Amino acid sequence: MSVSEFPYRRVVVTGGAGFLGSYVVEKLRQRGVEEIFVPRSRDYDLVRMDHVERLYDDAQPDLVIHIAAVVGGIGANRANPGRYFYDNLMMGVQLMEQARQRGISKFVGLGTICAYPKFTPVPFREEDIWNGYPEETNAPYGLAKKMMLVQSQSYREQYGFNSIFLLPVNLYGPRDNFDLQSSHVIPALIRKCLEAIERGAEQIECWGSGLPTREFLYAEDCAEGILLAAECYDKSEPVNLGAGFEISIRELAEKIARLTGFAGEIVWDASQPDGQPRRCLDVTRAEREFGFRARTGFDEGLRQTIEWYRGIIAKPAGSTNGSFG
């Protein structure tokens, strides 16, 4: 789609200063969108309705892409179930309700793979999203985000409001969050391997058994999928965004160790939870409806992520003003 064809000129991207959002903002600019409003948490608390109203007053958008989330890995989810439920629920509900009231042209809600039932048949098909309860450690987060799907479908039915709901799989890539207290598995493994090399350590420790499988989507690819959906998709059914493969956590750890050059032992702490047993998406709907297919090979994406993080840790303290999301 050429720049002149992009149908929206004033866009709010919640979470636009974070990991995935930064790629969405870049791709909007590549499409010629000049009026992009990225609310920062210090200025707009999106859990509060009066702040949501002020955001829309200030931005006057015709498209809202809601990416912002309070999120983390298994440990962070276990420590913050109440906060993760309430904050994510209230952000989505209020942003969409105010968008409906104001007649905003389109609302794109980003859900999460954590919304699927714990034992969803693989590959996950969108039709299976209600066939069971999510994996316990991240159910409050997953259910809070899934309420946007209910809201989106009911608002389209009653009000004719144009909102869509996308389900991205686990993301990775440069600019990810590498804080070991809240990061997801790929940045955590990269950091552990590189720090072990730096210290001369002979082993790293990983949570769980290593047996669960996951699917990963390069963040820049995901951003492209979001904008393709914003441009072309106007239906109530949810859509998976993924790469269509699965890899065990054990294989992933071994691959990252190899790519980083860590030659030591990987020790598995089976007393810690594994999370959902398997994750792999059926991605045919996204390709059929708006032509999305992941472009970045997994090894190449991992190499780029490792090199980005190496560049960050090599910089003198205070030399970067970037955010890990």
Burial class (CB in 10 A: 0-12, 13-18, 19+), 87: buried
Structure tokens at 102: 């104001």
Locate all alpha helices (DSSP H) within the chain, ordered by sequence: 19-30, 49-59, 74-79, 81-102, 139-159, 185-199, 219-232, 249-260, 284-290, 298-314
Q: Is the dihedral of CA 294, 115, 118, 270 positive or negative?
A: positive
Does residue 233 have an active-site annotation? no
Which residue among the candidates 8, 141, 218, 233 is catalytic per the annotation? 141
Adjacent-strand bridge partners of 170: 216
Backbone angles phi, psi at 313, to 5 degrees: -75, -15
Q: Which of 118, 115, 119, 113 is nearest to 144 (CA)?
A: 115
Apex 213 CA angle, 85 and 323, nearest 5: 55
Are 190 and 305 a contacting pair, CB within 8 Å?
yes
Are 285 and 239 a contacting pair, CB within 8 Å?
yes
Q: How far apart are CA 319 and CA 312, in angstroms?
A: 9
Residue 286 has a CB neighbour count (10 Å cut-off) of 25
Burial class (CB in 10 A: 0-12, 13-18, 19+), 235: middle
Question: Which are the catalytic amino acids?
Answer: 141
